Chain A
């Protein structure tokens, strides 16, 4: 047992995930089909995209609570801009209008994250507070834009971004995997990634080692808000409308996935790969329970319990070292 420990210790969550999949394959006949697995990947991809950025934010010792509202806001903004810019006769051709709307929504996301960074750096406002304020403000802004009703200005092909397939793979899942590769490389093979760990590990020591901690904080917050805005675009494409009430409470799902993946809320510790596993883990559990016809209310209870369990495993693993 002790000899197995180092081998198992570093991959507990992966082993649990494989065991879970084997169990589901045995009891739910349609779990282990390509279609279902791709479906799982699609379902997790929009939250997963944000979780990648959130991993960086949490490693840097910050938090972003506004991501759920940002998804709704950016979806609504994209819809509204598409309608406004693409008004027949007065505006741009529809494809151009859609493209401009998406870019502007991403820019709005980037701006919102930068604002949280600015408040943190210049005025010492903890990101917990500033993004909590943004959570409310963005949610209200989404309602203002849509006036309470879903906006549906999108052309039919727009559905591809959130609902289409490329080479048989769901397009959002593809984007998620690409973003995973990107953030994984960023955190493991670049000096910037090391700086993120340093800032979360000990901001003062990082500053005195000539690392620009303000830039690091702003960059990770801006990246995450931009990813949330991208997720909002995908979401609006999937449901083909800008809806202000969508993605409520996503911030907690996203943070849960990051924590399950072994990232420490204290900062300085965590891996993008762990978050990937955490995201898939949560997706598989939800999918499995749906396939097994578990009552929806029970699904939430079970999920809560599993989050706790995963964190406990991480704790014990860390103490074992």
Chain B
């Protein structure tokens, strides 16, 4: 009973209207310090609007926000932070050239009397903060040299340095592997115990049980309800999010026996992976599991010829090659949907039409003449076939949601008639419905004899979709597993041990 004072966050009929739409409809909710509240909803449900209102990025049309029982108003994120509401955004915002310590205390570095920055104090403050969070990092290292997971931890450290009463986390684990996520959860629970209100936005249902005490669901801008985490089974949550239960977990079909389409022999890039050999069969969906930094992404990029590797050959369609460029591998029928879909999968300023046709433009002799009309026909075919929600195929692809962008990336490659699809984190940051659709596409392709290699941090997804899963550990193949005769716990066990 002698704990630190519990903070509280309350919204009263919070409403945000934009011309023509209501983004948030009179949402009233109350979160107490000490609990971790998960906030769910599919894309467009109003989650991000709520986060922006609470974080001071936009002002509400009507309604009120109360922190510890006092009404607060803010016109900027800076004011929100001063009043105790701090947000950790999904996108990393660290400045790569500055040190960890500088990033944490950016704009408020401790000064000496003469006005000069007190570097020693800054570093020791940063070190103390990181130690409290259980992070062993060099605070003098440039942030850009750290991995994504570590950068994410720095973002949280930065948020904590403001001593917030309310901490909002927008999909903090989307870039983290299982173990890093665990460390984050331990940290969040410790924060909750201190009385901080934690609002946790996520797409991952399985996280709810690991982290949340209660779940609040939004749909179409309105509050659907709040239930205790104990009652939040997937069917219930999906029902709340979509209004009806959609999609059921299909067990993986038995792996198609038969002809190998791609054989990888002795693939090595010393710093990332070594001596990787495996065979991919026709129509097979092959998963690659492993913790972050195990070399999964690097291996996929190496197989596609996107990054150089030192040794190793790929046999595909009767030809044995040393992958050295994407155009070479495309010719052999290999395709890659990269991890960073926004920056590497699509050209955001160009239209959906051009993006769907993008992989079909080289060599130029493929289409000496191409017309917008021909491209529109191709694009429209995929937009219909894959249910891509788009206003017009001629408007910029940046208008599309994450899930639809992912479908455009896949469409781009299907248009080249591939036989092997390399998918790197294909479901990252997309809502459940889009996820189902992406899985359905992969299954559909599999039934048509097109094989896929899927890399994902979401092990339960690999269990759901793959015929076979390879486990990558510190750059080496550490075994393989058939989802049919194993459980998620088995897989997690093998990956972590």
Query: A residues within 8 A CB of B176?
Result: none
Chain B residues lying within 8 Å of A189, measured Cβ to Cβ, are: 369-371
Q: B326, A209: Cβ atoms under 8 Å? A: yes
A269 to B350, CA, bound (A): 9
| B306 near A208: Cβ-Cβ < 8 Å | yes
Determine the interface band of chain B, counting residues with CB < 8 A from chain A.
Answer: 20 to 34
Complex interface residues of chain A between 244 and 270 (CB less than 8 A to chain B): 268-269
Q: Does B417 sit at the interface, judged by CB under 8 A?
A: no
Residues of B within 8 A of A268 (CB): 347, 349-350
User: Does A210 lie within 8 Å of B362, measured CB to CB?
Assistant: yes
Contacts of B364 in A (CB 8 A): 190-192, 195
**What are 20 A-to-B residue pairs whose CB atoms are below 8 Å?**
A189-B370, A190-B370, A191-B367, A195-B362, A195-B364, A197-B354, A198-B350, A198-B354, A198-B358, A202-B349, A208-B326, A209-B326, A209-B361, A209-B362, A209-B412, A211-B327, A211-B358, A211-B359, A212-B325, A268-B350
Q: Would you call A104 an interface residue if the criterion is a C-beta within 8 Å of the partner chain's C-beta atoms?
A: no
Known interface pairs A190-B369, A206-B358; A212-B348 also in contact (CB < 8 Å):
no
- The answer to the question of B114 belonging to the interface, with a C-beta cut-off of 8 Å to chain A, is no
- Residue among A201, A205, A212 making CB contact with B362, cutoff 8 Å: A212
User: A269 to chain B: closest CB distance in Å?
Assistant: 6
Least CB distance, A65 to chain B, in whole angstroms: 25
The residue from A191, A207, A208 contacting B361, defined by CB atoms under 8 A apart: A191
Chain A, Cβ-Cβ closest to B328: A210
- Residues in chain A near residue B151, CB distance under 8 A: none
The yes or no answer to A204 lying at the interface (CB within 8 A) is yes
* CB of B404 to closest CB in A, whole Å: 16
B18 / chain A contacts, CB cutoff of 8 Å = none
Given contacts A209-B326, A210-B359, contact A201 B366 (CB under 8 A): no
Q: Within 8 Å of chain A (Cβ to Cβ): is B344?
A: yes
B367, A190: Cβ atoms under 8 Å?
yes
The interface residues of chain B lying within 8 Å CB-to-CB of A191 are 360-362, 364, 366-368, 370
Question: Is B370's CB under 8 angstroms from A206's CB?
Answer: no
Question: How many whole Å from B349's CB to the nearest CB in chain A?
Answer: 5
Residues of A within 8 A of B336 (CB): 208
Residues A170-213 near B (CB distance < 8 A):
189-192, 194-195, 197-198, 201-202, 204-212
CA A211 – CA B331 in complex, angstroms? 12
Q: Which residues of B contact A205 (CB under 8 A)?
A: 343-347, 358
14 A-B pairs besides A192-B361, A211-B359 with CB distance below 8 A are A190-B368, A191-B368, A192-B364, A194-B358, A194-B361, A201-B349, A202-B348, A205-B347, A205-B358, A208-B304, A209-B361, A209-B412, A210-B416, A212-B362
CB distance from A264 to the nearest CB of B (A): 9
The verdict on A208 contacting B338 (CB below 8 Å), with A189-B369, A189-B370, A195-B364 known, is yes
Q: Is B357 an interface residue (CB 8 A)?
A: yes
Q: Are the C-beta atoms of B347 and A201 separated by less than 8 Å? A: yes
Give the one of B358, B369, B370 with max A CB within 10 A.
B358
- Distance in Å: Cβ of A172 to nearest Cβ of chain B: 29
Closest chain B residue to A189, Cβ basis:
B369
| Cα-based distance from A207 to B361 in the complex (angstroms) | 11
Measured in the bound complex, the distance between the Cα atoms of B359 and A198 in whole Å is 10
B359 to chain A, nearest CB (A): 5
Q: How far is the CB of A272 from chain B (nearest CB, A)?
A: 15
A198:B326 contact, CB within 8 angstroms: no
Q: Which residues of B contact A197 (CB under 8 A)?
A: 347, 350, 354
Least CB separation from A267: chain B residue = B349
Closest chain B residue to A219, Cβ basis:
B364
In the bound complex, do residue B350 and residue A201 qualify as a contact, i.e. CB atoms below 8 Å apart? yes
Find chain A residues with CB under 8 A from B359 CB. 209-211
Residue B42 at the chain A interface, CB threshold 8 Å: no
List the B residue with the shortest CB-CB distance to A197. Answer: B350
Distance between Cα atoms of A206 and B357 in the complex (Å):
11
Answer yes or no: B282 CB below 8 A from chain A CBs: no
**Are A212 and B327 closer than 8 Å at their CB atoms?**
yes
Q: How far is the CA of A211 from the CA of B357 in the complex (A)?
A: 12
Q: Is the CB of B369 within 8 A of A206?
A: no
Is B330 in contact with chain A by the CB < 8 A criterion? yes
CA distance A211 to B358 in the complex (A): 8
The one of B304, B338, B346, B362 in contact with A211, judged by C-beta atoms closer than 8 angstroms, is: B362
Q: Shortest 7 CB-CB distances between A and B: which pairs? A: A210-B330, A201-B347, A192-B364, A191-B367, A191-B361, A210-B327, A211-B362
Q: Chain B contacts of A198 at CB under 8 A?
A: 347, 350, 354, 358, 361
